[in-house]
């Protein structure tokens, strides 16, 4: 069974991917204010925490693996839950795993230029899959170890920026002239999409709730503790970036992904790209591992509920859902071999936030339906925290749909395509 440390580590590992290292480059291109950029990350943390408050109560009331699949099936209808599981497994986690693995290969390529990046990404996915298909203790040790290394490296990197920068830049924590007007623009809303992507993973522990010891108590702790830690890290890291690099240099970057390399180069002249790439590559190992660990638990829950898909729930002698893990590895490798992953990311964001919106809204329905006393975790700030989450999620969905209409429509059509599989499977589903 999973304990408190591993559950929190899964949340942390899922959240810290490439987003925090590349978002600032894109944000600075359209937002000319350090205050507005830091406000983006504050709002992103508020968004993630509000969602974590709500998911923590839902997990306390319904402690089973599966995440939105389980919640939406119980609150609304099994069909909606199935669509959430279908979209999350087939594209959501598989695409995010591929993106993280390709990012690992891209950052490592500066050290191993002779290796094909796709082969490196596939190798990383298979390595993480093998670690999680053996004994549970081995998988947990692998995951916990690399997550701990990630946190130490990131805090070390942030402290270097804050205390070793020779010529620190002024960073305004108060709004200047025109800053508040900028917050109301579509550019600010679009930049917020990058922030929500960086914070995605705040709900990771609910997907494996069925394997967590004392889930009603530990899942809320993991969600809130992990999200709070990452919020503090992201704010400090972006403050350190802005302090280390002149704003004009950030705007002038040709490759927006090189923010970290530019900042490290200010301290270690000539070695910035090598050092930053190595640090980011190491941190991405736990991200890929966490995604490979989480997604099969959704497939497993679906296989337990639908007889035609029962093969997904098969376990080996160690209690590991090996068939679901193999299916996850196969889908992730397909996405590695695909092209135009940026469009896939926009599709993933629109799809996953849509189901998160429905899940948090479902908390209102669940409380109305179960009006009796409840001794588990209750969402702090209810009803204001879920209302704020719904408002911010709606803001992101409108922004993504207006700027990436094609990807959003494809996402909706793909979700609806899952209805055919649901009706075929539900005829013989396990009750």
Angstrom CA distances, 321 to 66, 293, 296, 306, 327, stand at 13, 10, 7, 16, 10
Read off the DSSP letter of residue 173.
-
How many Cα atoms are found within 13 Å in the side-chain-facing hemisphere of 396? 31
Q: What is the pLDDT of residue 341?
A: 56
Q: Helix H segments across 245-340?
A: 247-252, 259-267, 272-305, 322-337
* Parts of the chain with a pLDDT under 50: 430-431
Dist CA 179 CA 160 (whole Å) = 29
Q: What is the pLDDT of residue 98?
A: 87
118 φψ region: left (φ > 0), alpha (ψ -120 to 50), beta (else) = alpha
Dist CA 15 CA 298 (whole Å) = 18
Q: Where are the domains of the chain?
A: 4-426
Dist CA 353 CA 200 (whole Å) = 9
Q: What is the pLDDT of residue 431?
A: 44
Angstrom CA distances, 345 to 24, 97, 159, 319, 379, stand at 17, 11, 31, 32, 30
**Helix (H/G/I), strand (E/B), else coil: 306:** strand
Angstrom CA distances, 304 to 62, 307, 311, 314, stand at 16, 7, 9, 9
CATH code: domain 4-426 is 1.20.1740.10
Nearest alpha-carbon partner for 91 in 348, 395, 409: 348
């Amino acid at each position: 069974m999973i304990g408190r440390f591993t559950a929190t580590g899964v949340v942390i590992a899922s959240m810290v991917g490439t987003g925090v290292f590349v978002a600032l480059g894109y944000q600075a291109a359209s937002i000319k204010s350090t205050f507005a950029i830091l406000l983006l990350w504050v709002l992103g943390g508020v968004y993630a925490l509000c969602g974590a408050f709500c998911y923590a109560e839902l997990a306390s009331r319904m402690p089973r693996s599966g995440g939105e699949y389980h919640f939406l099936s119980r609150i609304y209808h099994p069909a909606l839950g199935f669509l959430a599981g279908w979209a999350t497994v087939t594209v959501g986690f598989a695409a995010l795993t591929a993106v993280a693995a390709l990012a690992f290969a891209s950052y490592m390529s500066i050290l191993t230029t002779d290796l094909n990046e796709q082969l490196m990404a596939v190798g990383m996915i298979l390595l993480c899959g093998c670690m999680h298909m053996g004994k549970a203790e081995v998988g947990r040790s692998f995951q916990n170890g690399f997550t701990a290394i990630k946190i130490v490296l990131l805090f070390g990197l942030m402290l270097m920026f804050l205390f070793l920068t020779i010529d620190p830049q002024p960073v305004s924590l108060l709004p200047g002239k025109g800053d508040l007007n900028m917050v109301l623009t579509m550019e600010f809303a679009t930049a917020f999409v990058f922030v929500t992507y960086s914070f995605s993973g705040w709900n990771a522990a609910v997907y494996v709730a069925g394997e967590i010891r004392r889930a009603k108590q530990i899942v809320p702790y993991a969600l809130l503790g992990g999200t709070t830690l990452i919020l503090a890290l992201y704010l400090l890291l972006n403050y350190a970036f802005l302090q280390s690099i002149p704003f004009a240099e950030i705007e002038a970057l040709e490759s927006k992904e090189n923010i970290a390399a530019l900042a490290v180069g200010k301290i270690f002249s000539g070695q910035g790209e090598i050092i930053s790439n190595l640090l980011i590559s190491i941190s991405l190992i736990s991200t890929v591992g966490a995604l490979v660990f989480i997604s099969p638990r959704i497939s497993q829950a679906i296989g337990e509920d639908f007889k035609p898909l029962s093969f997904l729930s098969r376990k080996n002698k160690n209690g590991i859902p090996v068939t679901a893990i193999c299916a996850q590895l196969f889908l992730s490798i397909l996405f590695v071999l695909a092209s135009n992953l940026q469009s896939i990311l926009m599709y993933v964001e629109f799809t996953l936030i849509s189901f998160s919106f429905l899940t948090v809204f479902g908390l209102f329905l669940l409380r109305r339906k179960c009006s009796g006393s409840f001794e588990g975790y209750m969402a702090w700030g209810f009803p204001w925290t879920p209302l704020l989450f719904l408002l911010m999620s709606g803001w992101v969905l409108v922004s993504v749909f207006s700027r990436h209409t094609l990807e959003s429509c494809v996402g909706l059509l793909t979700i609806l395509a899952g209805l055919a599989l649901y009706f075929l499977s539900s005829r013989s589903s396990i009750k």
